[in-house]
């Protein structure tokens, strides 16, 4: 199901990219912009050389129809900026959310595996990194991989609440509560955040791992 979701995301992104390509090439004045938009969308599925194939033909045609450099430079600028935006901003954000990887992990894995294995590494970057995240979620000694590469927050909301209380930082706890209440009701906040946080405090107090100052809020001096 995860793979199907990724394919659907890739098809949607490729379609949008093809439409934008057709529109901008039409504005620039390159003949047959719809054809080049379809080609740009199709070659998004070809790793490493797809963007080069998509750009070569419109740029060659731009040279033929314009004796100056304006059309060629605008076409080249569009493909450079468009590919950079898709490869380093849009796709990491979309694929990161659909796979459980953070955008940082998607970018980092693409750079690292491409540097290590070239085009093959580029193709395998997402599956290999996802395997590391799954390993971190199920093997305690590798949990740091999930924290670094995954998109799950390192702490649950109740743990964040408890941590902020221990740090005597009610202002940040209030900010976290306001963010939570934008999506859930106050009753849910009490049940899912405040009450479990107080239970954590009671458990630590029962084990006597909390200082008396932390429990009373008074300065021990």
Indicate the number of domains in the chain: 3
The reply to whether 7 and 93 lie within a common domain is yes
Domain final residue, candidates 74, 99, 124: 99
**Over the range 53-72, which residues count as b (16 or more CB within 10 Å of their CB) and which as e?**
ebbeebbebbeeebeeeebb
Is the pTM value of this prediction over 0.85? no
88 occurs within a structural domain: yes
Judge contact between 201 and 159, C-beta under 8 A: no
- Report which listed range, 3-17, 30-44, 175-189, 204-218, is most confident: 30-44
The reply to whether 10 and 86 lie within a common domain is yes
Mean pLDDT on 19-31? 93
Q: Determine what percent of the chain is predicted with pLDDT higher than 70.
A: 80
The reply to whether 107 and 70 lie within a common domain is no
Q: What is the pLDDT of residues 55-85, one digit of tens each?
A: 999 999 999 888 888 999 999 999 988 887 8
Which of residues 203 and 39 earns the better pLDDT score? Answer: 39
Mean pLDDT on 124-135? 77
| Residue 2 predicted with pLDDT over 50 | no
Mean pLDDT on 123-144? 77
Judge contact between 29 and 65, C-beta under 8 A: yes
Mean pLDDT on 40-47? 80
| Residue 124 predicted with pLDDT over 70 | yes
- Which structural domain, as residue segments, surrounds residue 117? 100-153
Structure tokens at 81: 């900026």
221 occurs within a structural domain: no
Secondary structure element (H or E) that encloses residue 21, with its range: helix 2-28
Please state the length of the chain: 221
Mean pLDDT on 200-214? 71
51 occurs within a structural domain: yes
The reply to whether 170 and 124 lie within a common domain is no
CA–CA separation, 39 vs 22, rounded Å? 10
Q: Determine what percent of the chain is predicted with pLDDT higher than 90.
A: 15
């Amino acid at each position: 199901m995860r793979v199907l979701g990724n394919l659907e995301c890739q098809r949607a992104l490729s379609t949008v990219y093809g439409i934008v390509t057709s529109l901008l090439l039409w504005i620039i004045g390159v003949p047959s912009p719809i054809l080049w938009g379809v080609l740009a969308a199709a070659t998004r599925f070809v790793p490493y050389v797809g963007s080069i194939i998509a750009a070569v033909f419109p740029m060659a045609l731009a040279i033929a129809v314009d004796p100056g450099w304006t059309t060629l430079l605008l076409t080249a600028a569009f493909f450079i900026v468009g590919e950079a935006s898709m490869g380093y901003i849009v796709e990491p954000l979309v694929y990161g959310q659909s796979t459980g990887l953070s955008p940082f992990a998607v970018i980092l894995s693409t750079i690292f595996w491409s540097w290590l294995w070239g085009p093959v590494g580029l193709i395998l970057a997402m599956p290999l990194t996802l395997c590391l995240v799954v390993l971190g979620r199920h093997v305690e000694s590798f949990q740091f991989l999930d924290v670094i590469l995954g998109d799950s927050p390192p702490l649950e909301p109740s743990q964040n609440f408890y941590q902020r209380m221990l740090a005597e930082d009610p202002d940040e706890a209030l900010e976290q509560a306001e963010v939570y209440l934008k999506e859930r009701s106050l009753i849910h906040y009490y049940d899912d955040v405040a009450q479990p946080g107080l239970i954590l405090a009671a458990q630590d107090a029962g084990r006597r791992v909390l200082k008396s100052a932390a429990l009373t809020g008074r300065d021990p001096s």
